[in-house]
Amino acid sequence: MKGIFITLEGPEGSGKSTQLKRLSAYLKRKGLNVLSTREPGGTRIGERVREILLSPRNRGMSPLAELLLYLASRAQLVEEVMRPALGQGKVVVSARFSDSSLAYQGYGRGLDKQLIRKMNRVTTGSLKPDLTILLDINIPQGLKRARAGSKGDRLEREAREFHQRVREGYLKLAEREPKRIKIVKVVGSIGQVQERIRQHVDELLKIPSHPSLSPRGRESKVRG
């Protein structure tokens, strides 16, 4: 693949959607061809799956069913959107990817993490991000932001202990892969957080192993 794959991860309320938009706009200004997307979703099928996963009406969903639905959405996104874009030399930026399954269904739900890793490889064809930005926020603050103005979606309504396990899981993943996963603390203004994200992204874009990332215009296709 000729493109670059960047993901934004983090607990609820960490600002992934906001930072995704800002980072995509920043990369376009640098003259790169950018495609931004999200999980679950990013395709017509994936958005339908997203509705099922996040609806508070489905609180009785089993952890395994939850995992399989996320994987189904991911498989469609990789096949329909990500691989074609990366093959065209685009910068693909996604809010969430396979690390989310390990954090939420592995550490959060307690499902077998080795099984999740294997299923992720099958689902994505072993596709991994070149860079993952982990937006780290303390759980009370994150849940307050996520639930502002509403009771939250199905996951946001989970107990604080669940979200704490998710956060701890993310931090363990970062310890395991420090070269790929860079922790960015959600402290200060949105602009200050974005600046810390850009420092890691700028470093990645200078890596000689990705010479194909020459400016390709400002055209962008946004999914999700």
Residue 104 corresponds to which amino acid?
Y
User: Which domain range does residue 8 map to?
Assistant: 4-222
Specify the pLDDT at position 151. Answer: 80
**CB–CB of 31/206 below 8 Å?**
no
Specify the pLDDT at position 149. Answer: 75
Domain of residue 209, CATH code: 3.40.50.300
Specify the pLDDT at position 223. Answer: 38
Burial 23-35 (b: 16+ CB within 10 A, else e): bbebbbeeebbbb
Q: What is the number of domains present in the chain?
A: 1
Sheet holding 221-222, edge to edge: 181-185, 131-136, 4-9, 91-95, 34-38, 221-222
Question: What is the H or E stretch that residue 95 is in?
Answer: strand 91-95
Q: Mind listing the pLDDT tens digit of every residue in the chain (224 residues)?
A: 489 999 999 999 999 999 999 999 999 999 999 999 999 999 999 999 999 999 999 999 999 999 999 999 999 999 999 999 999 999 999 999 999 999 999 999 999 999 999 999 999 999 999 999 999 999 999 999 999 878 889 999 999 999 999 999 999 999 999 999 999 999 999 999 999 999 999 999 874 344 444 444 333 333 33
What residues have CB less than 8 Å from 112, skipping those under 6 apart? Answer: 106
Specify the pLDDT at position 173. Answer: 98
pTM: 0.90
